[in-house]
Structure 1
Amino acid sequence: MAHGPARPQNLAQAQDRDPQLVATLDTQFQQAHTTLNRYATGDTWKLHNQLTAADLKTLSDSINALAEPISQIAAAIAH
């Protein structure tokens, strides 16, 4: 069930204003999707109760790594 990241459309506007931010977001989204895909089974995902505490931490860390660059998108577009 490997899926690639869907690129938000507002990143095109940010690309012109802050290409480094967009490159960081692209990298972080790809890493998050790579992490998520580890827990895919066929056409579905493993259930929460099938994951270890280490698995859950890995998923959480991957998603949390997106928080800071995502929070900068509005400012990049507004400038």
Structure 2
Amino acid sequence: MDFHVLLAISHEYEASGISLKNGLSDFSFEEVLTRRNIVRAAQTIYVVADHTKFERDFAIKICSLDYFITDAHLNDNIYKQ
């Protein structure tokens, strides 16, 4: 049985960052622990976030990501990668 996780980065997680190089990150250790527990068993990580969350790295890495879903305002350089 495959297990997939869809993480929606919303107003509740405004500090979260998404980097194509480093995946998801945050500055809050408690938030990172919670999210790591959510994705631990996942085979695939899908992230839904608006374009403002991309290329923002924070101190603590949560996980790598497999796919992301975003709005039409994503920077062209990021889109091409």
TM-score above 0.5: no
Between structure 1 and structure 2, the one with the greater Rg is 1
More helix by share: 1
- The normalised TM-score by structure 2 is 0.29
